[in-house]
Amino acid sequence: MLTTRVPADWQALQQDVARILQECGFAVEVETLVHTVRGDVTVDVYAEESVDGRLYTILCECKHWKAHVPQTVIHAFRTIVADSGGNLGYIVSSGGFQSGAFTAAELSNIRLVTWEEFQMEFTESWFEHHLLPFVADRLDPLLTYTEPLLPRRFAGLTESEREHFLALKRKYDVFGWLMMTFTPYSRVFAKEGLPKLPLRERLKGGATAEQQIPAAVLDAVGYRDFLEAAVAYGDIAIAEFRKALKTDEV
């Protein structure tokens, strides 16, 4: 799951669905007109991506309802997707679906999903296209400061300044190691799938590291929630290292 946060209304659901698709590499529009053989129709979320030069399109209908979505909605949406030439259609419902709705979606390119199920559909893609490159770019200074080799500016520090820098390395080394597993570099050699959350289970009783790393990072069960907490903590760490080295550069 990407986040445990639940959209508050239909507009938030649209924006959250669009955000996931955009971060997965799609060009996305919200509440946009789509041309069909029967005329123009407004869809909640329209997404396009190019796959080896071929255009691939997804249409999404977002239903922030308490009631289950009936099969009439599925029939209408099937027509829109088919008449627009869409490759795949998602109906994302916060209230679930009537049993007849699943029958109406059988043998079609329409997928009926909850908000949680929609996230699961795109977790792997979101991980590869957004989380990994974002961590590598945003937290690159931290990964450099916590690697075994000392930075060049270390040689110019006084003894007390060196001690302070090494203390920072001890403080953030485990965090840096954990974040390295969320970069494209480590994924080249990884044999397993996505790194599992929560991260606290990976520390195997490392009490000192658990005390230093915020609970929001260690206990997050959603990848977006983890990313937000990790970047916030990483920014603090980078600022401390740069202050210790008296530089704004790595």
Quick check: is 52 in a domain? yes
What is the rounded CA–CA span in Å between residue 248 and residue 80? 53
Quick check: is 133 in a domain? no
What is the mean predicted confidence (pLDDT) over 167-184? 93
Question: What residues have CB less than 8 Å from 8, skipping those under 6 apart?
Answer: none
Q: Mean pLDDT across the chain, nearest whole number?
A: 92
Confidence of residue 205 (pLDDT cuts 50, 70, 90): low
Domain range holding 220? 139-245
Quick check: is 166 in a domain? yes
- Strands 54-63 and 88-93, sheet pairing: parallel
Q: Is the pTM of this model over 0.85?
A: yes
pLDDT for the residue numbered 160: 96
What is the rounded CA–CA span in Å between residue 59 and residue 48? 9
Exposure string over 187-214, b if 16+ CB within 10 A, otherwise e: eeeeeeeebebebbebeeeeeebeeebe
Report which of residues 51 and 118 the model is more confident about.
118
Both 61 and 105 in one domain: the answer is yes
* Per-residue pLDDT tens digits for 5-25: 999 999 999 999 999 999 999
* Per-residue pLDDT tens digits for 217-244: 999 999 999 999 999 999 999 999 999 9
> Of 230, 232, 178, nearest to 202 (Cα)?
178
What is the rounded CA–CA span in Å between residue 26 and residue 45? 11
In the chain, the number of structural domains is 2
Residue 122 has pLDDT above 80, yes or no: yes
Both 153 and 93 in one domain: the answer is no
CATH code for the domain in which residue 28 is found: 3.40.1350.10
% the chain with pLDDT above 90:
83
* Per-residue pLDDT tens digits for 69-101: 999 999 999 999 999 999 999 999 999 999 999
Confidence of residue 30 (pLDDT cuts 50, 70, 90): very high
